[in-house]
């Protein structure tokens, strides 16, 4: 595994400890390598996600293959950044790399900052991940090597950091169509390495996983579960025996074991039941993933009408011609962020602040399995509006649960490579892809489509005040389409079984402990919405101890999208033979101002401090 998260700390002894030890127990040498320019390694990273992040691990793979203590047959695995480098190394086609397991992984450079609709990933990237990387940039390795190389590497990195543009500035200044991102796409078409790919319904990178999986020409299998950005053996909703599956994948391709890993369906999917709750669902097997463009897949369609959602074939009434004033606070009641654990939230407050259209109560279950889309007719008062569509399951008691969502900025309505402002006052037709999902709207439930201008704080809304008018009529309806069908019941003809996690070794870290929280609120006078995410973790290391605390607070005023902002702080403390280190990274992010400050102390004395403003 090749990552920038400091292999001497939490990445080895915290989050990955259960999988690392499980692999080691089954006879594998587990090597976690610091990315060049991070942790205990030498070097420096000017820009992340360039192709050096494929060539470097590919060289390590070849080096490992030449060591007398290996068989010369190497596998790679990792979640998120660890999955990126696994895919990227496989794209270089090193001879010794014979299997990979990428988990919750994007593969296109811009996807590390922007959605497919061109919106900035505010919560997961701008607030959470970039604050973490700001802190790790300045943090030395917690393990001291005898030769003292760690000190030279660390001090050299600090010296160069002061002159480098922070990654936050790089990401926010470069829109998804700009040249900055051109050399940051992984050549997944080159991959000939057997791949076990993993994605999750509540993870940001499900569509990315489906796209790179389709491009790979090699033996492959895909798991799509209900997980957040989390390992499947630790999933809140449906923990499975994923560690055993990883071992079997490597056993087959690295040890030539005939264990039947390719006998399972190519795509294995969790279908949500009971409104999308945390426990109800069924694993199923597919040979391909359905989309609305797939002529072999059945499709369900609902037109937006004055009376709610109905089949386009039966829509013969009046037109919809409704104006919506932008409300950038929508989203705080629907967001289900990774890194915290709670039941899927009720969407009703967000639904009340958007344009909503519903079916009657369903007489029969309706299945959504695949990648759908919404075609929306809008006339905007601004040139670059944000248009967000949420598909919601409404239970018999009236509580809504988010099923899938999609969004696009007006200037990217024709694709990220063809930006063009909308003409204010002119009607435009926008096609908005929905996030992939497998879900059953059960008998007695309703399907709700909510159309608004925000999904805050998950995405940063465009800053202009304004409104759009939604239109739909029988000749040219605003319509939602998704692969699926009406069902007689929820008995499936394609079920598969998944084993529970193997308890031979713990599924959760035994060296690490921590807590997380997620709090949302709304100030009633000014109408300001606020969301706060906090996390702390303590890790027991063989060479000391480490703690990490973070707080991320986003806010926006109901009548001013430009007021969207966030304040973030990450504090890392650790003790080793040299003393007590404290690294504090803080930042402020808004449309008009970004400000960062990083401080490093040793035994209470400041050894580095730098600020950046733009």
pLDDT tens profile 153-206: 898 899 999 999 999 999 999 999 999 998 899 999 999 999 999 999 999 999
Structural domain includes residue 112: no
Give the 3-state secondary structure of residue 456. coil
- Domain membership of residue 238 (yes or no) is no
pLDDT one-digit tens code per residue, 86-102: 999 999 999 999 999 99
**Distance, CA of 333 to CA of 37 (rounded, Å):** 39
pLDDT over 90 (residue 501):
no
Residue of 179, 193, 180 whose CA lies nearest to 92: 193
pLDDT for 99 equals 98
For the record, the structure tokens of 88 come out as 């990227």
> Is 49 inside any structural domain?
no
**36 lies in some domain:** no
Residue 456 is encoded by which pair of tokens? 């805050």
E strands, 70-127, in order:
74-79, 97-103
CATH number, position 376: 2.60.120.260
| Dist. CA 584–CA 613, nearest whole Å | 17
Domain range for 399 is 299-486
Q: Which residue has the tokens 């069924």?
A: 282
Tens digit of pLDDT for each residue in 429-465? Answer: 999 999 999 999 999 999 999 999 999 999 999 999 9
- Mean per-residue pLDDT, 562-589: 95
State residue 237's pLDDT score: 63
Counting residues of the chain whose pLDDT is more than 70, the rounded percentage is: 99
Task: Answer yes or no: is 419 within a domain.
Answer: yes
CA distance 372 to 370: 6
The model's pLDDT over 526-544, given as tens digits with 9 standing for 90+, comes to 899 999 999 999 999 888 8
Task: Encode 364-376: b = buried (16+ Cβ within 10 Å), e = exposed.
Answer: ebbbbbbbbbbbb
Over the stretch 96-130, which tens digit does the pLDDT of each residue have? 999 999 999 999 999 999 999 999 999 999 999 99
Does residue 330 belong to any structural domain of this protein? yes
Match 């690490």 to its residue by tokens: 512
**For residue 313, is it within any domain?**
yes
Residue 393, domain member (yes or no): yes
- Is residue 236 very low, low, confident or very high in pLDDT (cuts 50, 70, 90)? low
Q: Tell me the per-residue pLDDT of 301-335, one tens digit each, with 9 for 90 and over.
A: 999 999 999 999 999 989 999 999 999 999 999 99
Cβ neighbourhood burial of 147 (10 Å; 0-12, 13-18, 19+):
exposed
What's the total number of domains in the chain?
1
């Amino acid at each position: 595994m090749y990552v920038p998260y400091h292999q001497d700390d939490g990445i080895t002894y915290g989050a990955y400890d259960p999988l690392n030890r499980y692999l080691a127990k089954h006879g594998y040498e587990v090597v976690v390598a610091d990315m060049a320019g991070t942790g205990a390694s030498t070097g420096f990273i000017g820009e992340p996600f360039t192709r050096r992040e494929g060539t470097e691990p590919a060289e390590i793979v070849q080096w490992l293959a030449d060591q007398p203590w290996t068989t010369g047959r190497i596998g790679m695995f990792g979640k998120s950044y660890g999955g990126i480098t696994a895919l990227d190394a496989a794209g270089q086609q090193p001879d010794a790399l014979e299997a990979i397991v990428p988990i919750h992984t994007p593969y296109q450079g811009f996807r590390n900052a922007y959605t497919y609709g061109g919106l900035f990933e505010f919560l997961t990237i701008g607030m959470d991940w970039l604050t973490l990387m700001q802190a790790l940039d300045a943090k030395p390795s917690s393990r001291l090597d005898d030769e003292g190389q760690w000190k030279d590497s660390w001090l050299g990195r600090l010296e160069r950091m002061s002159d480098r543009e922070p990654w936050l500035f790089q990401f926010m200044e470069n829109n998804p169509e700009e040249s900055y991102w051109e050399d940051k796409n992984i050549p997944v078409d080159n991959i000939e390495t057997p791949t076990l790919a993993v994605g999750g319904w509540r993870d940001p990178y499900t569509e990315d996983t489906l796209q790179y999986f389709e491009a790979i020409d090699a033996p492959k299998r895909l798991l799509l579960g209900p997980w957040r950005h989390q390992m499947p053996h630790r999933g809140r909703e449906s923990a499975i025996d994923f560690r055993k599956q990883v071992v079997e994948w490597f056993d087959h391709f690295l040890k030539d074991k005939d264990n039947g890993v390719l006998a399972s369906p190519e795509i294995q999917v969790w279908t949500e039941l009971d409104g999308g709750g945390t426990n109800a669902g069924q694993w199923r097997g597919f040979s391909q993933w359905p989309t609305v463009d797939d002529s072999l897949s059945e499709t369900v369609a609902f037109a937006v009408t004055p009376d709610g959602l109905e089949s386009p074939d039966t829509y013969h009434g009046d037109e919809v011609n409704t104006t919506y004033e932008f409300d950038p606070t929508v989203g705080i009641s629907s967001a289900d962020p990774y890194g915290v654990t709670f039941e899927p939230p009720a969407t009703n407050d967000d639904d009340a602040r958007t344009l909503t259209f519903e079916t009657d109560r369903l007489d029969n279950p309706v299945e959504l399995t695949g990648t759908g889309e919404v075609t929306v007719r809008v006339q905007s008062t601004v040139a670059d509006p944000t248009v967000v569509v949420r598909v919601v399951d409404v239970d018999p008691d009236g509580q809504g649960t988010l099923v899938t969502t999609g969004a696009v900025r007006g200037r990217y309505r024709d694709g990220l490579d063809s930006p063009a402002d909308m003409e204010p006052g002119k009607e435009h037709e926008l096609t908005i892809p929905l996030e992939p999902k497998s879900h059953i709207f059960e008998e007695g439930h309703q399907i709700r489509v909510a159309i608004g201008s925000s999904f805050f704080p998950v995405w940063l809304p465009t800053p202009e005040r304004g409104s759009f008018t939604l239109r739909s009529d029988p000749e040219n309806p605003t319509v939602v389409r998704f692969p699926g069908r009406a069902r007689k019941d929820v008995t499936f003809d394609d079920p598969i079984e998944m084993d529970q996690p193997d308890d031979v070794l713990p599924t959760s870290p035994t060296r690490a402990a921590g807590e997380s929280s997620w709090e949302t609120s709304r100030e009633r006078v000014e109408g300001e919405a606020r969301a706060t995410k906090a996390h702390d973790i303590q890790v027991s290391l063989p060479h000391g101890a480490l703690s990490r605390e973070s707080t991320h607070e986003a806010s926006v005023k109901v009548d001013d999208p430009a007021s969207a902002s966030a304040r973030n702080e990450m504090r890392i403390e650790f003790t080793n033979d040299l003393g007590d280190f404290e690294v504090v990274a803080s930042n402020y992010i808004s449309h008009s101002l970004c400000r960062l400050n990083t401080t490093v102390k040793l035994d209470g004395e400041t050894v580095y401090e730098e600020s950046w403003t733009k």
